[in-house]
């Protein structure tokens, strides 16, 4: 992870500043405020600002004033109730703003979540730095035959090294051409005073998707939970999951009651369709139910087996 000198100066100043405020603050989150949390090889996540805490969620639900009107256990119980019954608006009363440095290919996947406010580094205005993502060899895998978006078995060492070599060579070559087209280096210094460089908005188009970009990303807690539910999932792409895992830790520091509810009812919970619920009811009554009898597709049946952690036919046979 690399910060520019300007960013290092800004970080030092931000960590030094102290403010007196009447609004709610969270000491555990204040500890890491502005601090870059490393992700991948050059990326980071850092919390820039936030509004609200667990109490703000409770206050919004009760439409009450001040703290201390209820016991802590009651506050936690109410947040559990809100999460369990999908009462989402109280969670929208909390917001958080991140500064994130990430590879462009992850940014393009990330931006599909359209419920945040985003301002990205502009390569039309500034020269993009020479930083690109190279995966660790253990994350290089073949295409899954079952999942068009997923990975299968790891590449053997020889294949992995060849892929890494190609990635580095391509990234290095396109940046060399990028500087040549700009007639400038990454510090903005002119390379050849005898010629004009290509405009930045066109020179950037040759860069590969593993180059890093940066943005400020602000989102409310409800929509952040939706993002994390998808991107911290084991089926998500490893690279975006790495960011989601770091962000989960910031949420745990920020709103520990809401975080615990999210883990309990969303991240490690499950949802059943009407048909799947009927299958579970039948199992509890000792019925023998096959997939064909259930009316579920092969994929739905497999997903139910995974969710319940049992092999359905075998389990039923033992209970009949």
Per-residue pLDDT tens over the stretch 111-123: 999 999 999 999 9
* 82 token code pair: 């809100």
pLDDT at 315 over 50: no
pLDDT of residue 318: 40
Mean pLDDT for all residues in the chain: 89
Note if the pTM is more than 0.75: yes
Cα–Cα distance measured from residue 3 to residue 43, given in angstroms and rounded to the nearest whole number? 10
Split at pLDDT 50, 70, 90, the class of 21 is confident
Cα–Cα distance measured from residue 79 to residue 16, given in angstroms and rounded to the nearest whole number? 34
pLDDT of residue 320: 35
pLDDT at 271 over 50: yes
Please confirm, yes or no, whether 46 is among the known catalytic residues: no
pLDDT at 188 over 60: yes
pLDDT digits (tens, 9 = 90+) for 119-172: 999 998 999 999 999 999 999 888 776 766 677 788 899 999 999 999 999 999
E-strand stretches of 36-88: 37-39, 43-51
Split at pLDDT 50, 70, 90, the class of 296 is very high
Residues 200, 204, 231, 253: which is the catalytic one? 231
pLDDT of residue 152: 72
Q: At which residue do the structure tokens 């949420």 appear?
A: 251
pLDDT at 27 over 50: yes
pLDDT at 94 over 60: yes
pLDDT at 253 over 80: yes
Class of residue 252 by CB neighbours under 10 A (exposed 0-12, middle 13-18, buried 19+):
middle
| Beta bridge mates, 99 | 46, 216
pLDDT of residue 277: 93
Instruction: Work out the average pLDDT over 221-242.
Output: 95
pLDDT digits (tens, 9 = 90+) for 191-213: 899 899 999 999 999 999 999 99
Return the minimum-mean-pLDDT range out of 41-45, 143-147, 270-274: 143-147
pLDDT of residue 317: 39
Cα–Cα distance measured from residue 173 to residue 265, given in angstroms and rounded to the nearest whole number? 48
Split at pLDDT 50, 70, 90, the class of 35 is very high
pLDDT at 69 over 60: no
pLDDT digits (tens, 9 = 90+) for 45-65: 999 999 999 999 999 998 855
């Amino acid at each position: 992870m690399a910060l520019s000198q300007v960013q290092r100066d800004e970080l030092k100043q931000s960590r030094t500043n102290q403010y007196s405020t009447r609004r709610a603050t969270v000491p555990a989150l204040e500890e890491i405020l502005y601090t870059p949390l490393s992700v991948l090889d050059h990326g980071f996540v850092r919390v820039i600002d936030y509004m609200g805490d667990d109490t703000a969620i409770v206050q919004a639900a009760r439409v009450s004033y001040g703290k201390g009107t209820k016991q802590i256990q009651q506050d936690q119980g109410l947040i559990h109730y809100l999460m369990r019954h999908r009462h989402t608006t109280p969670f929208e009363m909390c917001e958080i703003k991140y500064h994130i440095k990430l590879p462009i290919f992850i940014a393009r996947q990330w931006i599909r979540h359209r419920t945040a406010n985003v301002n990205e580094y502009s390569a039309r205005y500034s020269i993009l730095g020479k930083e690109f993502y190279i995966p660790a060899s253990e994350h290089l895998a073949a295409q899954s035959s079952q999942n068009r978006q997923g990975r299968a078995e790891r590449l053997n060492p020889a294949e992995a090294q060849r892929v890494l070599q190609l990635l580095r060579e391509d990234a290095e070559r396109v940046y060399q051409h990028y500087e040549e087209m700009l007639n400038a280096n990454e510090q903005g210094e002119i390379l050849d005073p005898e010629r004009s460089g290509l405009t930045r908005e066109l020179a950037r188009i040759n860069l590969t998707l593993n180059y890093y970009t940066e943005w400020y990303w602000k989102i409310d807690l409800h929509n952040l939970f939706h993002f994390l539910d998808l991107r911290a999932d084991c089926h998500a792409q490893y690279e975006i999951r790495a960011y989601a895992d770091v962000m989960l830790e910031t949420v745990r520091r920020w709103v520990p009651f809401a975080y615990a509810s999210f883990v309990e009812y969303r991240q490690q919970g499950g949802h059943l369709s009407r048909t799947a619920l009927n299958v579970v009811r039948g199992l509890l009554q000792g019925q023998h139910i096959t997939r064909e009898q259930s009316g579920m597709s092969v994929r739905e049946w497999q997903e139910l087996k995974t969710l319940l952690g049992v092999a359905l036919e075998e389990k039923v046979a033992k209970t009949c």
